[in-house]
């Protein structure tokens, strides 16, 4: 994902194409890897899935290590192009609200499509389209991270590591909020049944 998305930035693609590149990379990752590993390319999603019982706790550490390693490798190959950062006119409060909201929206869409769909093909295109849309609308404001690994690689290599804590906390908070809503809705539904 970092190689394709940040690679499009390195090639000078316009914003809409960068958003599409990130969405397409997510789609392809799910199409190819979901039957093998669940296509976990986002630590925030993996953490949320651990909370909701979709990922066993023992797998979380190795998954996050793999995600960060992949992102760091891709960023190193690209020379740190495409770090995630707040726009000059976006303050920390606004940036926090945006990143928590868009990561919540992404995670909620994942829960929704996983419940509704039986095929990983529809999941892949739905989640990829969600990433592309959120990146298109919010990328100019915060970089639309939604993914600690997406920020980790480029920001480490480019020397902008001071924002890692901010993006890690906001994205994980958004994903965990969606997981909590999902868990409570499932519990409520079970009680009604």
* Alpha carbons 15 and 2: distance in angstroms, whole number: 15
Q: Which CATH superfamily is domain 2-192 in?
A: Glycerol uptake facilitator protein. (1.20.1080.10)
* Alpha carbons 79 and 178: distance in angstroms, whole number: 34
pLDDT digit of tens for each residue in the chain (193 aa)? Answer: 999 999 999 999 999 999 999 999 999 999 999 888 888 999 999 999 999 999 999 999 999 999 999 999 999 999 999 999 999 999 999 999 999 999 999 999 999 998 887 788 999 999 999 999 999 999 999 999 999 999 999 999 999 999 999 999 999 999 999 999 999 988 776 666 5
Q: Where are the domains of the chain?
A: 2-192
Indicate the pTM of the whole model.
Answer: 0.94
């Amino acid at each position: 994902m970092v190689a394709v998305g940040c690679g499009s930035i390195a090639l000078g693609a316009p914003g809409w194409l960068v958003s599409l590149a990130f969405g397409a990379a997510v789609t392809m990752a799910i199409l190819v890897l979901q039957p093998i590993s669940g296509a976990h390319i986002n630590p925030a999603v993996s953490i949320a899935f651990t909370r909701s019982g979709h990922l066993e706790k023992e797998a979380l550490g190795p998954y996050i290590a793999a995600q960060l390693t992949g992102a760091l490798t891709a960023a190193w190959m690209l020379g740190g192009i495409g770090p995630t950062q707040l726009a000059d006119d976006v303050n920390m409060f606004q940036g926090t609200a945006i990143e928590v909201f868009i990561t919540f929206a992404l995670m909620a869409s994942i829960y929704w499509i996983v419940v509704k769909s039986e095929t990983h093909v529809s999941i892949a295109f739905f989640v990829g389209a969600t990433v592309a849309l959120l990146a298109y609308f919010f990328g100019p404001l915060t970089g639309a991270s939604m993914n600690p690994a997406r920020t980790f690689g480029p920001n480490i290599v480019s020397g902008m590591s001071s924002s890692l804590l901010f993006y890690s906390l906001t994205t994980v908070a958004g994903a965990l909020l969606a997981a909590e809503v999902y868990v409570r809705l499932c519990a409520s539904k079970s009680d009604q049944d």
